[in-house]
Amino acid sequence: MATPGAPAFGEDSLIARYFKPLATDAGAFGLSDDTAVLKALGEDIVVTTDALVEGVHFLADDPPDTIARKALRVNLSDLAAKGATPAGFVLSLALRKVDEAWLAAFARGLGADAADFNCPLLGGDTVSTPGPLMISITAFGRVPPNGMVRRSGARPGDHVVVSGTIGDAALGLDILKRGRVAAAFGGDAAARDLLISRYRVPQPRNALASAVRAHAHAAMDVSDGLAGDLAKLCRVSGVSAVIDLKSVPLSEAASIALAAGFVGMAEIISGGDDYEILCAIPQDALEDFAVAAQAAGVAVSPIGTFIAGDSPPKWLDVEGKELPLTRTSYSHF
């Protein structure tokens, strides 16, 4: 994403108009070079990347500012789960055509979040494509030396803890696709809009990063579905888990859809795009973690316990019966 000697047309002009204003870090050199410098400041650099593809991660008619926000926020969510502070990001954008109005709104949304989360644009690339629109972001964060929280540290006896609420984004997508959940909120525009916004604009829990770093044995963000992501964390940590389904935090809207039979609990815990934090908190640290989360303004809920073993996590209903899961998470393949 270089603009040296930029002409008044083409890719360089596009970059200069829409993305140079976002490159506020001195190490980005105003996007005038092919590379950027990110100073480590004596800390470890955490790197994460996610790509969003039209028709897979967002819908063709989603507002461009929400697409931009989601593209950055899914990466910020990864940094939060690692206990990292955002430092900057690079952007690759594949466009079918240059639509000035779309780009202006996209850059406006991206710039607002870059400022709000103190995560400036450092560089990137723009290309044309005959296929679907694609946005790929690689984000960088900082942690103290050896301070990154990995997936692999959960221990038997640790509490399974999640932030926020689960399942809202999957319900929002179902509404946008005019699925059966839409019928549950035919006359409730506020609930419908809340669920849609949870799908279009995730809420990364960066305010919780320092608490995760201080107290969690292991952590990851919930992107593909709580059930599947918990299974991933357990597998890497060499443990299993027992989950109390009634403790899984739900929004009021999700609770209404569940009670009315428009969605089942299996769908809620296997739906993607939650972008909440899933972590293993030692028993003696749970209270301190909860206090830190409250101070950060993020709700957290213990939902179960990690146990010894290598069997898949068990999801138990109010009667202690295991919920059968035919699908645990979203998968691209």
Assign 331 a pLDDT band (cuts: 50, 70, 90): low
Say whether pLDDT at 251 is over 90: yes
pLDDT confidence of residue 329: 65
E-strand ranges in 82-231 read 85-95, 121-128, 134-143, 159-163, 218-222
CATH superfamily to which 151-316 belongs: PurM-like C-terminal domain (3.90.650.10)
Q: Does domain 10-143 fall into CATH 3.30.1330.10?
A: yes
Q: How far apart are CA 101 and CA 157, in angstroms?
A: 53
Assign 328 a pLDDT band (cuts: 50, 70, 90): confident
Q: Model-level pTM?
A: 0.93
**β-sheet bridge partners, residue 91:** 124, 137
pLDDT confidence of residue 228: 96
Annotated binding site for substrate: 57, 273, 330
Boundaries of every domain in the chain: 10-143, 151-316
Annotated binding site for ATP: 124-125, 151, 223
User: Which of 49, 332, 329 lies closest to 170, judged by CA?
Assistant: 329
Say whether pLDDT at 6 is over 70: no
Annotated binding site for Mg(2+): 34, 48-50, 78, 125, 221, 224
Annotated binding site: 34, 48-50, 57, 78, 124-125, 151, 221, 223-224, 273, 330
292's CB contacts (< 8 A; 6+ apart) are 208, 210, 211, 214, 215
User: Which of 207, 250, 187, 220 lies closest to 46, judged by CA?
Assistant: 220
Instruction: Please tell me what DSSP assigns to residue 323.
Output: P
Say whether pLDDT at 7 is over 60: no
The mean pLDDT of the chain is 93
pLDDT confidence of residue 14: 82
User: Which of 194, 230, 196, 204 lies closest to 71, judged by CA?
Assistant: 204
Q: How far apart are CA 154 and CA 236, in angstroms?
A: 9
Q: How far apart are CA 88 and CA 119, in angstroms?
A: 4
